[in-house]
Amino acid sequence: MISGSFRFLINTESLNGVESVGNLTRHRTAPVVIKTSTGYLVRYVPAISGESLAHAYQTALVDLAKKYGLPVGVYSSKYDFIKFSTEEVLKEEGVNPPKDSSDMKRFEVEVMLKDVVADVGGFMYAGNVPVRRTSRVKFGYMIPALLGDEIPAQLESQFHVRYSEKDQMIYNVEVSSALYVMSFSLDEDLIAVPSTEGPKVNGEDTLTKQRDSRVKTAIEALYYVLTGNFGGKRSRFLPSMKLMSGVVTVTDFPFIPEPGHTNDYIATTVKRLGKAKEIFNGKSKVYVINNEGVEVGGEVNRVGSVEELITSLTGK
CA 184 to CA 209: how far, in whole Å? Answer: 27
The confidence score (pLDDT) of residue 111 equals 96
Distances (CA, A) of 18 to 11, 140, 204: 19, 17, 41
CA 179 to CA 235: how far, in whole Å? Answer: 22
Residues sharing a CB contact under 8 Å with residue 31, sequence separation 6 or more, in sequence order: 42, 43, 44, 45
The confidence score (pLDDT) of residue 221 equals 97
The confidence score (pLDDT) of residue 192 equals 96
Residues sharing a CB contact under 8 Å with residue 233, sequence separation 6 or more, in sequence order: 14, 15, 17, 25, 173
- Written in H, E and C, the secondary structure of 140-203 is CCEEECCECCECCEEEEEEEEEEECCCCEEEEEEEEEEEEEEEEEEECHHHCCCCCCCCCCCCC
Please state the separation of Cα 68 from the chain's center in Å: 21
The confidence score (pLDDT) of residue 194 equals 95
CA 220 to CA 100: how far, in whole Å? Answer: 37
CA 188 to CA 183: how far, in whole Å? Answer: 16
Distances (CA, A) of 155 to 19, 117, 172: 15, 34, 12
Per-residue pLDDT tens over the stretch 194-232: 999 999 999 999 999 999 999 999 999 999 999 999 999
Q: What is the dihedral of CA 67, 71, 76, 82, to 10 degrees?
A: -150
CA 300 to CA 288: how far, in whole Å? Answer: 7
157 beta partners: 174
**Alpha-helix residue ranges (DSSP H) falling in the chain:** 50-68, 87-93, 104-114, 116-121, 204-226, 265-280, 306-314
Measuring CA to CA, which residue among 112, 113, 114, 103 is closest to residue 136?
112
Per-residue pLDDT tens over the stretch 41-74: 999 999 999 999 999 999 999 999 999 999 999 9
The confidence score (pLDDT) of residue 316 equals 65
What is the end-to-end Cα distance of the chain in Å, rounded?
A: 19
CB atoms within 10 A of CB 44: 10
CB atoms within 10 A of CB 112: 28
The confidence score (pLDDT) of residue 13 equals 93
- Give the residues of the chain that fall short of pLDDT 70: 316
DSSP state of 48: B
CA 271 to CA 18: how far, in whole Å? Answer: 39
